């Protein structure tokens, strides 16, 4: 106690040190903070699946594409619309960082046709057709070409697309804005739609800061109001607020110093720290309030020292266990999740330091809250709910146990329905412009997402073989039978088109020829009459490796998983021909990404619970206590995943954070409750008195804590991003579950275990 009082004399020095470090972090944030919206950077590039995917993408020049759809309700076959397609195509081709051959439209597409001299590869039009007869011929040419009809021009002939493939280095904010400006400039009477993964990235980059700027002040306002209501002290509220604001600055400041970018889930860190950090202050002020009730004439130095003496250990342990819950996320291979865990953990430990240093130092300087703000009615009249809850639970112990079992059973059923979704489009509301655009293009064309299937043979020219190409064609037909696969494209489509045009455009020849020599001849003719570079996207130079592109109408994990399952059914048949199957492209990376989210979720959850049990066992020197303390968070975790399954909420990059949040925050309630229960047990030696005093004093603080945290997270319901809203609702549910679980089933186990009472010492059992 004397040592604590001496330390309090150096309050100004402590505050000065905090101010200096905070200044360094603020400078780092101003000079180095940056947003990361490149979705590929969310994934571990050294993972074998990503390494292979990158190699395949380089071989076949697979790039992310921007799709611009041009709709004319009267039909696209008119001079004005076709001129617009040509002009816009040229404008995009001239953009910095884009190669002309990477822009595909009706103006640039190849039309493979038969002629008196064999085979020709022409453009559909160079000059915009003006006469009705020329427009009719263009329409007929498109309808006759399956490689264009339904792929570049919609089947209802009211929409056509321009696709521009770009590299990661090409896409910048200026590029994004330029594309959107083109869309605005070319509007009327046609309607233009812009989609594609780069557009999703650009939109995320634009909306994330706006959402964070809206959410953070809203959370602060809500927390201030709740703290004022609970603490009824401006001084206490201000000091609590400083704790969470400074911890947020420190977290982002360290992130900036280490050159770690801000990911989409990183925007949750301020909300997290604001909601979590106030808990330490609430427990400190709750103890201070009770002390001043018993010792109204105490000087501030003694009151603050007593608060630190009794509260430093539980505050430290709750901060450590909370940090452990978040740090366990480092087991995830998903960068945003990993860094979210690390820097939130740092912010939590910072908040703990501020609570134990800044709040006492601040009170020493500005003084204690006025006594009248702590004077309340007698304890017996004050909080009848918390004071009588212990008796109610003990009398109805079997009901409590049965209800807990029912909740666990329902939760386990719901858990069986949890599914993973790594769709980045799911970050947006269903009625947002980008989702509506994506839906429009998917309704009119094959799909805005893709899965690349890479087939590697063990010998050269294997993909000139008729049997091999027929199996490729069978695979494509099977893929296209899936509802969410709009189309597929490979070398087989080129061969089928060539066979048809070389046989008077008869539909029965729209197939793979039986003769390998004929296939080789077609390819030679194409190389002589067309642009052989067009084949580089589907086959390598030695015809030993090919790329099949399946166009998907959704980028969600279920859709990709269904397509991959179809391909896997063909694996044995291809292996019999000496061909191996692999996957690449954005769709596949997203699928692997989803698997990494699940793996990281399971490993981090197991790790955090084990470490928390060990820490609590060490803290209370009793393994049974460690197990009892883990009960509320285990039940909360089950309730969380059960609710997700029952409400069809997928496990994604944002919702993957929930279990660690539940463990990290929820265990605080158990630690504070057990610590005070142990203290009162030693003081009274009576189980009933211990239960009543713990429930009244600590139970009340836990209630206040839960109200503040839930209020903070409920603010996320106003986020423009659906995953953030889901996170806010689920974390609020978790906090409520942890609060109820601590004061019911955990309390009951603690009481019935008789763990802090030797035989004969309790007045009742």
Give the orientation angle of helix 466-480 with respect to helix 516-529, to 10 degrees. Answer: 80
Fold of 1-32+232-374: Multidrug efflux transporter AcrB transmembrane fold (1.20.1640)
Q: Are strands 449-457 and 110-115 parallel, antiparallel or unpaired?
A: unpaired
Residue with tokens 């919206």: 37
In the sheet with 485-489, reading across from the earlier edge strand, the strands are 485-489, 545-552, 449-457, 579-584
Residue 395 has pLDDT above 50, yes or no: yes
Q: Quick one: average pLDDT of 251-260?
A: 91
pLDDT of residue 138: 94
Higher pLDDT, 763 or 582: 582
Residue of 281, 341, 245 whose CA lies nearest to 22: 245
DSSP state of 655: G
How far are the Cα atoms of 33, 454, 698 from residue 37, in angstroms, in the given order? Answer: 13, 27, 44
Per-residue pLDDT band for 566 (boundaries 50, 70, 90) equals: very high
Per DSSP, the three-state class of 115 is: strand
Among 77-91, 136-150, 685-699, the least confident range: 685-699
Per-residue pLDDT band for 763 (boundaries 50, 70, 90) equals: very low
Q: Quick one: average pLDDT of 643-657?
A: 82
Residue 175 has pLDDT above 90, yes or no: no
- For residues 616 and 292, is the Cβ–Cβ distance under 8 A? no
The arrangement of secondary structure in 446-585, i.e. its CATH architecture, is 2-Layer Sandwich (3.30)
Residue 404 token pair:
């807990």
pLDDT of residue 442: 86
CATH of region 382-416+622-765: 1.20.1640.10
Percent of the chain with pLDDT strictly greater than 90: 25
How far are the Cα atoms of 236, 299, 357, 364 from residue 368, in angstroms, in the given order? Answer: 9, 9, 15, 8
Residue 703 has pLDDT above 70, yes or no: yes
What residues form DSSP beta bridges with 94? none
pLDDT of residue 689: 86
pLDDT of residue 546: 94
Among 90-94, 224-228, 474-478, the least confident range: 224-228
Angle at 624 between CA 694 and CA 330, to 5 degrees: 95
Cα of first residue to Cα of last residue in the chain, in angstroms, is: 36
CA 285/CA 681 separation, integer angstroms:
23
Fold of 60-201: Alpha-Beta Plaits (3.30.70)
Residue of 367, 208, 256 whose CA lies nearest to 24: 256
- For residues 496 and 106, is the Cβ–Cβ distance under 8 A? no
Residue 551 has pLDDT above 50, yes or no: yes
E-strand spans in 596-748? none
pLDDT of residue 445: 87
Per DSSP, the three-state class of 757 is: coil
Angle at 505 between CA 500 and CA 510, to 5 degrees: 35
pLDDT digits (tens, 9 = 90+) for 269-323: 887 787 677 878 887 888 888 788 888 878 888 888 888 888 888 888 888 888 8
Residue 371 has pLDDT above 70, yes or no: no
Q: What are the residues whose beta carbons fall under 8 Å from the beta carbon of 389, sequence distance 6 or more?
A: 695, 699, 743
Residue 10 has pLDDT above 70, yes or no: no
Residue 409 token pair:
């059973």
Residue 521 has pLDDT above 80, yes or no: yes
Where residue 636 falls (left for φ over 0; alpha for ψ -120 to 50; beta otherwise) is alpha
Q: Quick one: average pLDDT of 226-255?
A: 87
pLDDT digits (tens, 9 = 90+) for 117-148: 677 888 899 999 999 999 999 999 999 888 89
E-strand spans in 439-496? 449-457, 485-489
CA 337/CA 238 separation, integer angstroms:
31
- For residues 26 and 124, is the Cβ–Cβ distance under 8 A? no
Residue 468 has pLDDT above 80, yes or no: yes
Q: Quick one: average pLDDT of 660-684?
A: 83
Residue 382 has pLDDT above 60, yes or no: no
544 CB-contact burial (10 Å; exposed 0-12 / middle 13-18 / buried 19+) = middle
Q: Quick one: average pLDDT of 76-89?
A: 94
CA 38/CA 378 separation, integer angstroms:
59
pLDDT digits (tens, 9 = 90+) for 30-49: 888 777 766 667 777 777 87
Residue 526 token pair:
């194409």
Per-residue pLDDT band for 372 (boundaries 50, 70, 90) equals: very low
Element (H, E) at 122: strand 118-123
Among 237-241, 533-537, 541-545, 731-735, the least confident range: 533-537
Domain ranges within the chain, ordered by starting residue: 1-32+232-374, 60-201, 382-416+622-765, 446-585
pLDDT of residue 162: 92
Higher pLDDT, 170 or 326: 326
In whole numbers, what is the pLDDT of the chain averaged over residues? 84
Q: Quick one: average pLDDT of 187-202?
A: 85
Domains 1-32+232-374 and 382-416+622-765 fall in the same CATH topology: yes
What residues form DSSP beta bridges with 66? 164
pLDDT of residue 547: 94
pLDDT digits (tens, 9 = 90+) for 441-467: 888 888 888 899 999 999 999 999 999
Residue 170 has pLDDT above 70, yes or no: no
């Amino acid at each position: 106690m004397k040592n604590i009082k001496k330390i309090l004399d150096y309050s100004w020095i402590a505050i000065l040190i905090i101010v200096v470090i905070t200044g360094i972090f603020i400078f780092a944030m101003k000079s180095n903070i940056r947003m990361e919206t490149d979705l590929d950077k969310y994934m571990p590039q050294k993972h074998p699946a990503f390494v292979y995917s990158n190699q395949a993408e380089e071989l076949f020049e697979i790039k992310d594409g921007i799709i611009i759809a041009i709709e004319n309700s009267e039909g696209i076959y008119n001079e004005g619309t076709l001129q617009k397609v040509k002009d816009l195509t040229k404008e995009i081709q001239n953009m910095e960082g884009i190669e002309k051959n990477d822009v595909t439209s009706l103006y640039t597409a190849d039309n493979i046709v038969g002629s008196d001299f064999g085979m020709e590869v022409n453009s559909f039009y160079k000059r915009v057709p003006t006469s009705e007869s020329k427009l009719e011929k263009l329409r007929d040419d498109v309808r006759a070409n399956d490689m264009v009809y339904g792929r570049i021009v919609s089947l209802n002939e009211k929409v056509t697309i321009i696709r521009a493939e770009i590299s990661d280095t090409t896409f910048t904010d200026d590029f994004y804005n330029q594309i959107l400006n083109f869309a605005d400039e070319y509007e009327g009477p046609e309607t233009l739609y812009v989609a594609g993964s780069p557009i999703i990235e650009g939109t995320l980059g634009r909306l994330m800061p706006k959402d964070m700027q809206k959410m953070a002040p809203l959370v602060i306002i809500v927390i201030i109001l709740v703290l004022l209501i609970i603490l009824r002290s401006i001084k206490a509220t201000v000091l609590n607020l400083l704790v969470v604001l400074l911890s947020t600055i420190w977290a982002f400041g360290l992130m900036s110093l280490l050159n770690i970018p801000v990911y989409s889930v990183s925007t949750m860190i301020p909300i997290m720290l604001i909601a979590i950090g106030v808990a330490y202050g609430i427990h400190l002020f709750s103890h201070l309030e009770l002390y001043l009730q018993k010792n109204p004439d105490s000087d501030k130095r003694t009151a603050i020292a007593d608060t630190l003496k009794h509260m430093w250990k539980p505050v430290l342990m709750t901060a450590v266990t909370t940090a452990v819950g978040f740090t366990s996320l480092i087991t995830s291979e998903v960068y945003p999740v990993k860094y979210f865990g690390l820097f939130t953990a740092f912010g939590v430990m910072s908040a703990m330091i501020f609570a134990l240093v800044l709040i006492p130092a601040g009170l020493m300087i500005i003084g204690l809250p006025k006594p009248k703000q702590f004077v309340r009615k007698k304890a017996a009249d004050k909080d009848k709910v918390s004071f009588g809850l212990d008796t109610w639970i003990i009398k109805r112990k079997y009901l409590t146990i049965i209800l807990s079992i029912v909740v666990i059973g329902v939760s386990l059923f719901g858990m069986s329905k949890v599914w993973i979704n790594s769709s980045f489009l799911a970050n947006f509301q269903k009625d947002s412009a980008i989702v509506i655009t994506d839906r429009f293009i998917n309704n009119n064309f094959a799909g805005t997402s893709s899965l690349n299937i890479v087939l590697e043979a063990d010998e050269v020219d294997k993909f000139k073989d008729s049997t091999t190409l027929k199996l490729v064609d069978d695979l494509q037909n099977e893929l296209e039978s899936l509802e969410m696969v709009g189309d597929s494209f490979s070398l087989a489509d080129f061969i089928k088109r060539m066979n048809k045009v070389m046989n008077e455009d008869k539909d029965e020849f729209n197939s793979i020829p039986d003769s390998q020599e004929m296939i080789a001849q077609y390819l030679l003719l194409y190389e002589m009459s067309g642009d052989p570079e067009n084949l580089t996207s589907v086959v390598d130079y030695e015809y030993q490796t090919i790329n099949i592109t399946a166009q998907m109408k959704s980028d969600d994990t279920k859709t990709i998983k269904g397509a991959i399952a179809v391909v896997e059914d063909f694996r044995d048949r291809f292996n019999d021909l000496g061909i191996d199957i692999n996957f690449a492209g954005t769709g596949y990376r997203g699928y692997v990404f989803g698997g990494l989210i699940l793996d990281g979720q399971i490993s981090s959850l197991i790790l955090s619970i084990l470490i928390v049990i060990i820490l609590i066992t060490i803290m209370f020197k009793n393994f049974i206590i460690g197990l009892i303390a883990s009960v509320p968070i285990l039940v909360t975790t089950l309730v969380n995943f059960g609710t997700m399954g029952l409400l069809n909420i997928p496990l994604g990059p944002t919702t993957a954070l929930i279990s660690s949040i539940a463990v990290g925050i929820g265990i605080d309630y158990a630690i504070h409750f057990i610590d005070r229960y142990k203290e009162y047990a030693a003081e009274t030696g009576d189980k009933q008195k211990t239960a009543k005093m713990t429930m009244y004093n600590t139970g009340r603080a836990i209630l206040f804590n839960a109200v503040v945290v839930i209020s903070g997270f409920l603010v996320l319901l106003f986020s423009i991003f659906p995953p953030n809203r889901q996170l806010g609702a689920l974390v609020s549910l978790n906090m409520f579950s942890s609060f109820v679980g601590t004061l019911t089933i955990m309390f009951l186990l603690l009481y019935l275990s008789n763990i802090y009472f030797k035989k004969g010492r309790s007045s009742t059992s």
